[in-house]
Amino acid sequence: MKLWQKANSKKTNEIIDKFTVGKDRELDINLAPFDLFGSMAHAIMLTSIDLLEKQELKSILQECKIIYNEDIKQGKFEIIEGIEDVHSQIEYILTTKIGDIGKKIHSGRSRNDQVLVDMKMYLRHKIEEIVLLTEDLFKALQEKSELHKNDLLPGYTHLQIAMPSSFGLWFGAYAESLVDDLISLQSVYKIVNKNPLGSGAGYGSNFPLKRHLTKDLLGFDDLNYNVVYAQMTRGKMEFLMAQALGVFANTLSKMAMDVCLYNSQNFGFINLPEEMTTGSSIMPHKKNPDVAEILRGKANKLKGLASEIAFVQTNLPSGYHREMQLIKEIIMPALDDFSETLSVATFMIKNLKIKENLLDDSKFDLLFSVENVNKKVIEGMPFRDAYRAIGGEIEAGTYQPIKTLNHTLEGSIGNLCNPEIKEMMNNVIQSFNFEKVHQAFENLLNFEVE
């Protein structure tokens, strides 16, 4: 029996049933802990408005803790054959174990706000996972930046040599990029971290539900107040999440492309570890940067995620529509993919080796032309005259590069500002305040009925 099915309903067609349920049974395993926490918070709230008796609440919470500790935490939780989704499975277990009391848990709830609150808590969890993985990548980049701050690297514009750069600058640039990427994710977290529970099917309830109570019990920062809008956030929050992933993906794809270029024989700036390359079936000399290429491809694929979600909900009016179920099938695998991509990127950065003394090669002499121009400016020559003078030397073949660098500009070769960038990152991470959610869940699991 499905949550929405009436006692006299006819048996559904197997093909139609499979088509409408889709991948819910498979994907909803990810929602199990959050659906359980949502049910526990809802039961506590129902007791506070006398829709459950204290002894009934005690039975519900006791059974929920068993489900959490013995099934979910142990990885044994499953949605059995014939059960439609995670919400149905948990209600089925409660009803099987404690009888009619388990049937009361749905009072004041619709499956609409139930899946919405589950998805919000799931996205909160995945955002925390992304933040922690990003922090690992950030630390790897900063360590490499400091280690190689004095190792020069050609800088390019238009894929032509431009000015001296350094590996310290290159690694550090991607580290700082991740700070801004997390800021974009932070805005999504603020939108996600609002409680929709109590909005029902999108039009509320005549029960005097205490929505602020469930907000606090589940660690949300605020409510989605308007019950119609609460349901409108489904699809919106996944779309915004996908956009934030696209911002990250742009950083990762650019970094992977740099690695592919710098690893090639024509550049020869870095070496990738053996386990990150593959050979050719015909060319014995090949060491292809397959891992970096797949990383680039996965990142580029993520850039299209927001568009895919946008197309699914094109022209939908307010209120719930079954298309929203399809969005779950888009965003959940993508989030797992992204976490894996971040882990691989961190491994790549930690293990690649740079080549030293690159700019000793005379083919890079023109990189230092601006150093020569600036020397004349320091000596009193107007910039335009100095620019023409060095340009004339280059054309005449008399140019001699000045390779002694003294860059003190904030954020340049000699002044990377890595401590300042690290402080920015720490401030962004701390502002998420994930501990509030952890504490809320801990309180639920330890809640005592007085």
Q: Which residues of 133-145 are buried (b: 16+ CB within 10 A; e: fewer)?
A: bbbbbbbbbbebb
- Which tokens belong to 147? 């280690």
Q: Is 3.30.420.40 the CATH classification of the domain at 133-147+180-207+226-359+418-440?
A: no
pLDDT reported for residue 289: 84
Q: Do 369 and 160 form a contact (C-beta atoms < 8 A)?
A: no
Mean pLDDT over 367-385 rounds to: 94
Euclidean distance between CA atoms 52 and 109, whole angstroms: 14
Average of per-residue pLDDT values in the chain:
92
* CATH for 14-107, options being 1.10.3720.10, 1.10.275.10, 1.10.10.60, 3.40.190.170: 1.10.275.10
Helices 111-147/32-48 angle, 10° precision: 130
The ranges of the chain annotated as CATH 1.20.200.10 are 133-147+180-207+226-359+418-440
Helix/strand number for the chain, H first, E second: 17, 6
The ranges of the chain annotated as CATH 1.10.275.10 are 14-107
244's CB contacts (< 8 A; 6+ apart) are 181, 184, 185, 187, 188
Q: Which of 3-7, 27-31, 218-222, 305-309 has the lowest mean pLDDT?
A: 3-7
Sign, CA dihedral 38-40-43-45, equals negative
Nearest to 148 by CA among 178, 175, 120, 112: 175
Per-residue model confidence as pLDDT tens digits over 221-267? 999 999 999 999 999 999 999 999 999 999 999 999 999 999 998 99
Euclidean distance between CA atoms 155 and 153, whole angstroms: 6
Q: Respond yes or no: is residue 285 known to be catalytic.
A: no
Confidence check: pLDDT of 277 > 90: no
Q: Which residues of 245-259 are buried (b: 16+ CB within 10 A; e: fewer)?
A: bbbbbbbbbebbbbb
Q: Which of 9, 187, 280, 343 is catalytic?
A: 280
% of the chain exceeding 90 in pLDDT:
81
Strand partners for 415: 412
pLDDT reported for residue 14: 66
Nearest to 52 by CA among 111, 103, 94: 103
pLDDT reported for residue 268: 92
Q: Which of 158, 281, 285, 362 is catalytic?
A: 158
Q: Respond yes or no: is residue 280 known to be catalytic.
A: yes
> Within 219-268, where are the H helices?
227-263
pTM of the entire predicted model: 0.92
Per-residue model confidence as pLDDT tens digits over 317-344? 888 888 888 899 999 999 999 999 999 9
Per-residue model confidence as pLDDT tens digits over 25-74? 788 899 999 999 999 999 999 999 999 999 999 999 999 999 999 999 99
pLDDT-derived band at 4 (thresholds 50, 70, 90) equals: very low
